[in-house]
């Protein structure tokens, strides 16, 4: 199958999932064409059957804001025709699904119908789509998609309730490559970040307000009252500066390590004893899943689709948003009780391998593509 994939090529979850999906599909023999404005962060273009097509947006004084969605639609159409694509798969509804809709219409005028699948990732529905400026176009893009998938049951319910009550939306949870993300019992390299034998906790995100990264610093400050621990902050974004300032204010500046954006988080995550995910909203929790595959139990908030991934008290802990004391207490349990940690680490890895490995979920995408193509005949 020849598939065009469009996503935001950044450190956000939707772009990571789209990139990993393309890589897994290529390994299974499909020809994958990424169509984006820059090379996706985790994309290795040296892998066979992976192709990258840059979307160039012309700068013209008349345009205060360059019309990326139009340039994207045009590039989608050209790539589809040149490489005889079977379908487009766009990640994050706005503006990608509208560009795919235009590409479908343009392709129909030129040669044939080009179906497209839209995958909803969360904030495209819960934040962007709910904005009055985008509500109507988001609803229209979902209704006009040839196929729609959601990364969690919670997100599917929200989309049906608010946008498209009649639409058939398939839930295909996020996945992880369980061969790449795996435990490191020796935690080789941890001493670089914990020179005095500190226990490590880790947080990965794009540092947007919804991720509540300042709560991570507050949890670390509380945790250090009972536990010799350090916090690895992986990623970057608007709340990095405030988080760095807060670490100084709370007296934990030397114990919160801001590592910025990292291309190989699979090397960092296994060094930690727990991952902290205090988000205000998560439609699934990809970072938590990657950590679980590495045998690193999550301490997270009970929001959105997170309970579909984490079973509280079994393979991780769930607490209320903003409950710093509870989150810190759960982290302290994991870091100070070796038997509990070993049990939960094993359960976390087991959850990842039995329910969320790529080899269990990629075939569901393949089957859905086939279904969408048959329906368009």
Q: Where are the domains of the chain?
A: 2-175+358-375, 190-355
**Tally of CB atoms within 10 A around 367:** 12
H helix runs in the chain, sequence order = 13-27, 68-83, 96-110, 123, 132-144, 153-162, 213-223, 240-249, 265-268, 286-293, 324-336, 338-355, 358-375
Give the integer Cα–Cα distance in Å for 343 and 80.
49
* DSSP secondary structure, 225-289, as one string: TTS-EEEEEEE-STTHHHHHHHHHHTT-GGGEEEEE--S-HHHHGGG-SEEEE--S--SS-HHHH
For 73, the token pair is 């639609």
Question: What's the pLDDT at 65?
Answer: 73
Whether residue 277 contacts residue 298, with contact meaning beta carbons closer than 8 Å, is answered with: yes
Helix (H, G, I), strand (E, B) or coil at 194: coil
Q: What's the pTM?
A: 0.91
Report long-range pairs for 139-143 (Cβ below 8 Å, ≥24 apart). Answer: 139/163, 139/164, 140/98, 141/93, 141/94, 141/97, 141/98, 141/101, 142/93, 142/97, 142/118, 142/167, 143/167
Give the integer Cα–Cα distance in Å for 81 and 103.
10
Give the integer Cα–Cα distance in Å for 335 and 329.
10
pLDDT (tens place) for every residue of the chain, 377 residues total: 999 999 988 767 788 899 999 999 999 999 999 999 988 888 877 889 999 999 988 777 777 777 889 999 999 999 999 999 999 999 988 899 999 999 999 998 877 889 999 999 877 776 765 678 888 888 999 999 999 999 999 999 999 988 878 899 999 999 999 999 999 988 888 999 999 999 999 999 999 999 999 999 999 999 999 999 999 999 999 999 999 999 999 999 999 999 999 988 999 999 999 999 999 999 999 999 999 999 999 999 999 999 999 999 999 999 999 999 999 999 999 999 999 999 999 999 999 999 999 999 999 999 999 999 998 76
**Tally of CB atoms within 10 A around 261:** 15
Decide whether 2-175+358-375 matches 190-355 in CATH topology: yes
Instruction: Say which CATH architecture domain 2-175+358-375 belongs to.
Output: 3-Layer(aba) Sandwich (3.40)
- How is residue 198 annotated by DSSP? -
For 196, the token pair is 């005095």
Q: Which CATH superfamily is domain 190-355 in?
A: Glycogen Phosphorylase B; (3.40.50.2000)
- How is residue 192 annotated by DSSP? G
Whether residue 6 contacts residue 98, with contact meaning beta carbons closer than 8 Å, is answered with: no
Whether residue 275 contacts residue 288, with contact meaning beta carbons closer than 8 Å, is answered with: yes
């Amino acid at each position: 199958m020849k598939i065009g994939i469009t996503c935001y090529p950044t450190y956000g979850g939707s772009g990571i999932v789209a990139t990993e999906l393309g890589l897994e599909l290529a390994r299974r023999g499909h020809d994958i064409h990424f169509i984006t404005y820059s090379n996706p962060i985790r994309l290795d273009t040296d892998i066979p059957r992976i192709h990258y097509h840059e979307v160039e947006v012309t700068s013209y004084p008349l345009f205060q804001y360059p019309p990326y969605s139009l340039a994207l639609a045009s590039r989608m159409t050209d790539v589809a025709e040149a490489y005889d694509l079977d379908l487009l798969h766009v990640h994050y509804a706005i503006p990608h699904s509208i560009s795919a809709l235009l590409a479908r219409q343009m392709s129909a005028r030129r040669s044939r119908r080009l179906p497209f699948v839209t995958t909803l990732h969360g904030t495209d529905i819960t934040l962007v789509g709910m904005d009055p400026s985008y509500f109507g176009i988001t609803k229209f893009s979902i209704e006009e998609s040839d196929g729609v998938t959601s990364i969690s049951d919670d997100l599917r319910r929200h989309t049906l309730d608010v946008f498209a009550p009649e639409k058939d939306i398939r839930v295909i949870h996020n996945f992880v490559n369980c061969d790449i993300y795996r435990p490191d019992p020796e935690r080789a390299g941890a001493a670089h970040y914990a020179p005095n034998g500190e226990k490590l906790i880790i947080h990965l995100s794009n540092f947007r307000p919804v991720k509540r990264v300042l709560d991570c610093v507050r949890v670390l400050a509380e945790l250090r009252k009972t536990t010799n621990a350090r916090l690895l902050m992986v990623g970057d974004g608007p709340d990095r500066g405030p988080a760095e300032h807060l670490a100084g204010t709370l007296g934990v500046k030397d114990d919160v390590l801001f590592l910025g954006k990292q291309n190989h988080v699979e090397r960092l995550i296994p060094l930690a004893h727990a991952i902290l995910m205090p988000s205000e909203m998560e439609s699934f929790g990809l970072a938590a899943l990657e950590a679980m595959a590495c045998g690193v139990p999550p301490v997270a908030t009970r929001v959105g689709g997170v309970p579909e991934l984490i079973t509280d008290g079994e393979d991780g802990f769930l607490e209320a948003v903003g409950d710093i004391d509870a989150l810190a207490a759960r982290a302290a349990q994991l870091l100070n009780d070796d038997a509990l940690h070993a049990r939960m680490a094993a359960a976390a890895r087991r959850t990842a391998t039995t329910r969320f490995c790529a080899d269990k979920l990629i075939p569901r995408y393949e089957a859905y593509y086939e279904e969408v193509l048959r329906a368009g005949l």
